[in-house]
Structure 1
């Protein structure tokens, strides 16, 4: 059978952790010393998963990574200010911000997340056309009867804080209909009289649970507690629920630019849920010094089969082979 040794995912993960430890113990015999530890900040959405990944690596004798959940916008600013080694964001860095980082930035997709229209309206089996989705988010629809449900006031729940989820959501709204007039970005001036602001994905979920007649956008992995999700019309005219299968179908049609940011926000792929965002890890291209190999190997672990499988168990979307291949290819840019 030749001389190639095929390792199980758990063995691969352990080998990557061991390599981290070996690299960081140069001349000292100490693994994961204070000098060799990494700092990371990131989006709140995948924070549980990242904390688990990093803790597992440290507990296995690998590099210690001090990770804080600060939100996507704060994470990107921390990278610009050069106060961290890694940042995690649910929105890609824009060219104007990339230009602010003299050391250069390597932007690497590591996960994806579906963004749901979640609602609290008992007895309503909600299906939204793309035009209706825009009208709900814009405040044009104010009564559930306009959506084919029992009459009742609609309350629109949105993020109050700057958010990569808001950025992805508004890009999709813009792609759905020319009626969208609120622009795109991480922070939007919501003009609807029926709008309710909530901080973070957890705040949006709490607002939906506490307010009958409420509907809003939220990362699908955060949902539970009886909150329902709308079936949403995709680019092929199908009405699709947000789940791992439909989000994975979206990824098949995703087009990326040279910075590995998505450029098609309404792909026409059969069976795909139409609002999905990538989650990126951001690292410096140069100036990492003796931490270079540790940073590369940390990202390699995130892109490993075992790490991706654990993401799926927590409701996040693992990358397909094509996207993983593109991500793994640019890891080598770190340190060049």
Structure 2
């Protein structure tokens, strides 16, 4: 069991993340490849990610570098999830590059203590190999995390709204009591049941950043080093209903019809009438009818260029796709 001890100042400095933390989401998503537990909640994402990575150089890097570096259900290095990730992927990756060599070596040794310097992961202590790691993480995020960014953002916004209600009704006490069945708040201690290890963390006035996570499953996690600024990453509640709209086109289709939803989705990257017609398998005349309706609804914008008309999403149209993905 993990026990997080609060003081009065810690309660005042406890806060809920306002956006998904990209480096924690990378870590948790890599754990999803290492177990079938919770696969139903990420099934579509897992299938898409496997197709994206299969046979590619990135896929090989995931197998040989990232999965060994992020073992599930045990320790993985703290330097991979720096607090700077709160400011976005770029800031977090810069912090990984800036981590002291001695710290990187020490934390990697904890993954494979028997191998020590024989482990190929120890090469990450060098600036050159660290840059390779950072670029691999950037490519991985772009390939398999960014496609579900809308779903992540929508679920987090919903979670924040719920926790805000708890905070307004019950203060920080109400917030901490509502974090899920595996987390118990008995002032002044927040306990994580069935944690991977048994330890106490004293916040000592630093407060706690609480991070709802899309890919974290069942078991909340935190930093291994008690001396670091502390976070608690916990899984956002997921239901089968949350997966119904895993495809934006399917969700929009329920609102505006299948053909028109296909036309709307085709406009996401910008498409001409003839390109949309080929994708939707309908005539150019039918596409013109749908695009006129979507344009009148404020979901797309159409601009003529020479002999073609380019259709693109408006902000309203992009929001429709994003919020139903």
More strand by share: 1
More helix by share: 2
Range of TM-score over shorter length: under 0.3
Normalised by the length of structure 1, the TM-score is: 0.20
- Answer with 1 or 2: which has the greater Rg: 2
